[in-house]
Chain A
Amino acid sequence: MLAYLIRRLLYALPILIGVNVITFALFFVVNTPDDMARMQLGVKRVTPEAIERWKAERGYDKPLFWNDAAAGTGKATETIFFTKSVKMFALDFGSADDGRDIAREISLRMGPSLAVALPVFALGLFAAIAFALLLVYFRASYLDFAGVVLCVAMMSISGLFYIIGGQWLVSKVWHLVPISGYAEGLTAAKFVVLPVLVSVLAGLGSSARWYRTIFLEEYTRDYVRTARAKGLSERLVLFRHVLRNALIPILTGAVVAIPTLFMGSLLIEAFFGIPGLGSYTIDAINAQDFAVVRAMVFIGSALYIVGLLLTDISYTLADPRIRLQ
């Protein structure tokens, strides 16, 4: 098990390097720092001096991969690739365009992101499984059919509609919670309730329908027929046999998402004014702050790889037959 985990972690290294190369290519080869400077300064009034100053301020005034002018190891380290990409492995993200330290900003914003993302994850999973179990319990009835129709309708509605509709109904018409904003401590609950409800609702349709198909597939298995034949009640069959066995595919989809919860949700945070990592990313995208976007891409992929690893471990917990080696 431990050997397996170590091997998997080592396997993650080339992937992270690959991610770094892709983002590097995206940010510095497709567009040279000169292009970016021209873009940031405005296309019309740029002098070569202004571009040089912009590049020097942000550390883009070095060669891309290889610095012949430097001495010793400086040939490799005094380059944009090294200063902007390799340092990320040491979690050194540098500073954003507004001069703030990105790593510090991230640690500050992780809390609000988790305050929304964790309840969304837990409640969403619970609601979808419960709804799917209900439909499966009444399978091949009108209730089941109506439920599936509801699921398809719900997944055909744009996520933006849930957000805008929820804000309008709950905050503006009913005046139950503030439209947007955030506060530290327990008062945060007031601000978090609506985004959590909205995201759970928005995701319910597709996940409940997917879980329903998984449950139904389990229902056709022989062991279910055996369980019923030996006189188990329908409820026991459903909860003890079907649910337990259907957990594996459900876990694959769910566990991989846990680490990425740290990243928060771009859309929800932007709409509800929650100062988390999602809104940080959106602001960076809108301000074209490349350093921040690059840092978030790196962290996001690292967390995704952790998620894959967690998925493997959760397999062994859910299904004793699976051994990692």
Chain B
Amino acid sequence: MIKPVLLWSDLLFFLLIAATFAGGWLAARTEHLRLAWRRVGRSRVAMAAATLLAAFLLIGVLDSLHYRERLPGDGENYAVEVRSALDALLTGLRTRQERTYSAPLATHLFAKESLEGDQGRDFPRLKHGGAHLGADTAGHGADLLAKTVQGMGVGVVAWLVLWLGFLPARQAAPHLAWDAVLATLFALCLVAGPVLLLAQGYHVLGTDKVGQDVLYLTLKSVRTGLLIGTLTTLIMLPAAVALGLLAGYAGGWIDDVIQYLYTTLNSIPGVLLIAASVLMMQVVIDTHPDWFATAAERADARLLALCAILGITSWTGLCRLLRGEALKLRELEYVQAARALGVSGARILWRHILPNVMHIVMIAIVMDFSGLVLAEAVLSYIGIGVDPNTVSFGSMINTARMELAREPMVWWSLAAAFAFMFVLVLAANLFADVVRDAFDPRASR
């Protein structure tokens, strides 16, 4: 039996997904939003990027379903480690640990070691990588080739199943760029199939210094990246929207105070403010070890605090934009009319101004995402990012940075982290571009 664990970040993440669905439902009922999203849906680039993002999101959701395993024996005792559904799916990858570095798809360790007995120095055989080949690794190349071809076959079959699954959706919404979705899925299947088969017997992306599978680490990093990219915006959004609209609509001393607030925050160099806040947060967490039941909870608290800190330092831009927009909208006839009819200020803001700045908010959400994912890597590198126990792209790069200096070079953990991050950020950037063009009233023609 297992005991489900709901970390705070999981809760917020699921809330966010629910909010996205609710927002989608609302958008479908509103004419101009539906039109804008239809423009996004017609774009091949956007649909391909959305498919990739959905794949990342699937990994992130699986990795957010946390639980604690029950320990063998009597009584209600549960393991200290918090695992996720993704961990359970990837049990093989997680447990097949080697002693140290090994290259992608290798059968031997990366460095020579003194062997037992009197056999001199040689590359020791891996415990798990290519273990099914036996002591003699003559069939290594052929095995790799066979598994790759088989994997591609599996991928094509999986794609065909998906293709069938998409048939009803395509009939329901024929104007969307489904061909781009299917093409992206085809590419994904073609890569995932071989990886899936090869991962049964090899370390597809090699192993790191302590022998952990790099593929497993990269997949685990996806959740951290997604959380930082989305939760940060979610946390700062209410403050940015409320203050920005209030400043623009109310004017007077309220405007002055809010402007002063964001100018002051803005004038502190971002990285330094983040660094100072993270340092302080670290002191709080370290001096109160009794707040957290498990290491996972502590790491989770640090992740959330990092999101909050990033949010506090990044809401000013959106706030200023919204203030300007509210200033403009305040003078428009329909707002004047509402005021003349005696509608209260709060209601005008909520009913008449907020819906008309939603496109700016929307654009800000998608545009911020990629920057935040990249920022996480840099912050973790400087040592003010996520908890050292949290796997993230930044911490992977951080632990791998000295490996380039080795001779011969250990390149795969760096390459894997950078490649995954590149795909995620590129997809987000492309998607954001199309969304911006679709929602920007100036661009619509």
Contacts and interface: CB of A to CB of B under 8 A. Distances in A.
Contacts of A23: 268, 276
B382 A297 contact: no
Contacts of A288: 279
Contacts, number: 123
A90 B368 CA distance: 38
A22 B268 contact: yes
Contacts of A159: 374, 378
A160 B404 contact: no
Contacts of A266: 271, 382
B48 interface: no
B265 A158 contact: no
Contacts of A31: 280, 283-284, 287
Given A35-B283, A39-B287, A156-B422, A300 B269 contact: yes
A266 B282 CA distance: 20
Contacts of B277: 26
Nearest to B289: A43
B422 A300 contact: no
B425 A156 contact: yes
B287 A281 contact: no
Contacts of B272: 281, 293, 296-297, 300
A138 interface: no
A157 B383 contact: no
A279 to B, nearest CB: 11
B280 A26 contact: yes
Given A293-B272, A301-B267, A152 B279 contact: no
B263 interface: yes
A267 B284 CA distance: 26
B329 interface: no
A18 B422 contact: no
A301 B269 contact: yes
Given A18-B260, A31-B283, A164-B414, A153 B267 contact: no
A24 B409 CA distance: 46
B265 A22 contact: yes
Contacts of A167: 404
B119 interface: no
Contact of B426 (A38, A152, A290): A152
A168 interface: yes
A153 B426 contact: yes
A14 B260 contact: yes
Given A31-B284, A158-B377, A267-B378, A152 B269 contact: no
A300 B404 contact: no
Given A19-B264, A27-B280, A43-B287, A158 B374 contact: yes
A285 B269 contact: no
A297 B370 contact: no
B397 A19 contact: no
A35 B287 contact: yes
Contact of A297 (B273, B283, B421): B273
A227 B383 CA distance: 54
Given A260-B269, A285-B279, A297-B273, A15 B284 contact: no
Interface string A144-178: 00000000110111111100100110001000000
A137 interface: no
Given A27-B276, A31-B284, A263-B269, A158 B422 contact: yes
B113 interface: no
A59 B43 CA distance: 62
A305 interface: yes
A204 B264 CA distance: 29
A159 B393 CA distance: 13
Central interface residue in A263, A285, A293, by most chain B CB within 10 Å = A285
B274 to A, nearest CB: 10
A267 B393 CA distance: 16
Given A36-B283, A152-B430, A156-B426, A270 B260 contact: no
B267 A304 contact: yes
A308 B421 CA distance: 34
A47 interface: no
B268 A285 contact: no
Given A22-B264, A43-B286, A158-B421, 13 more contacts: A15-B264, A18-B261, A27-B276, A39-B286, A158-B374, A161-B422, A164-B414, A267-B378, A297-B268, A301-B268, A301-B269, A304-B266, A304-B268
Nearest 6 A/B pairs, CB to CB: A300-B269, A18-B264, A156-B426, A301-B267, A156-B425, A304-B267
